[in-house]
Amino acid sequence: MVIEWLIFKVPPEKWEAFIRRDEEVWTAGLKSFPGFLGKEIWVAPVENEVVMLIRWETRELWKSVPQRTIEELDAKMGELQMPIAESREYQVGKFLH
């Protein structure tokens, strides 16, 4: 499994609307792609950050989402489109003992 980790700087008064719109646009849009396993959203109130942890079956399936689709989903965020402040990728592996 691969984790896509995104951090957005979001003003507190927009948290609820941003998270709701993200669910309607991004989560709904990604559900149709093979390999999408789910998503968690956390709010860090002190830092005014919304953290998204997106789980993918493999890196290849994650990266197979067309750039055009990414741009279309971004546009659907409208006035709630926020720049990504930080992006990370984690590989979750199974380790033998």
Q: Could you tell me the CATH number of the domain that includes residue 7?
A: 3.30.70.100
Ramachandran region, residue 77 (left: φ > 0; alpha: ψ -120 to 50; beta: rest): alpha
The pLDDT of residue 93 is: 81
CA-to-CA distance for 25 and 73, rounded, in angstroms? 6
The pLDDT of residue 63 is: 97
For residue 58, is it within any domain?
yes
Q: Is residue 95's pLDDT more than 70?
A: no
Q: List, as own/partner pairs, every contact residues 75-78 make where C-beta atoms lie below 8 angstroms and the sequence separation is at least 24, other chains included.
A: 76/25, 76/29, 77/21, 77/22, 77/25, 77/26, 78/21
pLDDT cut 70: percent of the chain above it: 96
Number of domains within the chain: 1
CA-to-CA distance for 16 and 51, rounded, in angstroms? 13
**What is the reported pTM?**
0.89
Strand 2-9 versus strand 84-91 pairing type? antiparallel
Range of the domain at 6: 2-91
**65-75: pLDDT as tens digits:** 999 999 999 99
Split at pLDDT 50, 70, 90, the class of 91 is very high
For residue 97, is it within any domain?
no
Q: Is residue 96's pLDDT more than 70?
A: no
CA-to-CA distance for 24 and 30, rounded, in angstroms? 10
